């Protein structure tokens, strides 16, 4: 069964969270002080790495001024699952808080996945690999094209396609990109190389501080070296086919000659059989 596409666009999803934040003081929304130990991270969170320095800074701010904006959760069978506010959740743990202020929304698994993906794409700077994985998840979740995703998240189709191509890289190269050992520009020129070649170039980029242009030149040079050298062609020989043509015409065979080639024309199967008798 095909998943229903998002007719209103993905912005509508964030609108639900925004509306919850705006109305957090009303009776319509459930706002609780929830023990941090009772909240599980969103399993569909695309962000895998977090800047530890930035998290510590946020933790210090929370210690000093408190949590200015609550996180958003949904109730689960054994506690709560985080929908939005992963950084605030992690920073509150770093600040050694016991509880966190949270807005409780009703949400199903599909919406949890969507909220996590879209909040990160539109509100935080995912690294290139996390962004590619988020795009891939959205396309798979809704069975949509690159063009449709482009209009939904307000990014160009070219950007989406080029970002998704990064998933063709080996796991080690993706890790180097995620850890910012190489740039997205470096990564793009490595697409198409096998895993061993990618690792060789990644090591060279890191060790020798190679620019993208330098890597492109090295790859081009390597490809040229691996191509088999074409053998020099023998000088063309011009053959005199006039006598052959005359003899064949005497035998009533219709033929033409050009550039060392003889072309026969037959009008019936009988003419072909007659021609073949001369080779018996």
Place of tokens 């063709």: 168
DSSP 91: H
CA–CA separation, 72 and 67 (whole Å): 13
Per-residue DSSP letter, 47: -
Identified catalytic residue from 24, 33, 86, 225: 86
Give just the sign of the alpha carbon dihedral 125, 48, 115, 75.
negative
Q: CA 227 to CA 229: how far, in whole Å? A: 6
Please name the residue that has the structure tokens 């088999």: 228
The rounded Cα 88 to chain-centroid distance in angstroms is 28
Report helix angle 195-208 to 171-178, nearest 10.
30
Is 225 a catalytic site residue? no
Could you give the residue numbers annotated as active site? Answer: 86
């Amino acid at each position: 069964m095909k998943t229903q596409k998002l007719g209103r666009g993905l912005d509508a999803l964030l609108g639900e969270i925004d509306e919850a934040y705006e109305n957090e003081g009303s009776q319509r929304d459930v706002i609780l002080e929830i023990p941090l130990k009772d909240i599980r991270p969103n399993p569909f969170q695309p962000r895998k790495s977090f800047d530890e320095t930035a998290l510590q800074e946020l933790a210090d701010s929370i210690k000093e001024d408190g949590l200015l904006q609550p996180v958003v959760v949904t109730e689960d069978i054994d506690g709560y699952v985080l929908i939005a506010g992963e950084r605030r959740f992690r920073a509150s743990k770093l600040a050694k808080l016991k509880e966190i202020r949270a807005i409780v929304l009703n949400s199903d698994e599909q919406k949890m996945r969507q909220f996590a993906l879209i909040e990160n794409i539109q509100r935080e700077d995912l690294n290139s690999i996390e962004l590619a994985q988020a795009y891939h998840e959205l396309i798979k979740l809704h069975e949509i094209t690159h063009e449709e995703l482009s209009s939904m998240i307000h990014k160009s189709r070219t950007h989406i396609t080029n970002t998704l191509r990064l998933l063709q890289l080996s796991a080690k190269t993706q890790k180097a990109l995620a850890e910012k050992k190489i740039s997205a520009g470096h990564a793009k020129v490595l697409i198409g190389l096998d895993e061993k070649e990618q690792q060789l170039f990644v090591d060279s980029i890191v060790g020798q501080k190679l620019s993208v242009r330098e890597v492109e030149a090295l790859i081009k040079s390597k490809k040229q070296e691996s191509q088999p050298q074409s053998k020099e062609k023998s000088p063309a020989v011009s053959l005199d086919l006039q006598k052959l043509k005359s003899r064949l015409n005497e035998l009533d065979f219709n033929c033409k000659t050009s550039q060392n080639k003889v072309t026969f024309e037959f009008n019936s199967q009988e003419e072909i059989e007659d021609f073949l008798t001369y080779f018996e």
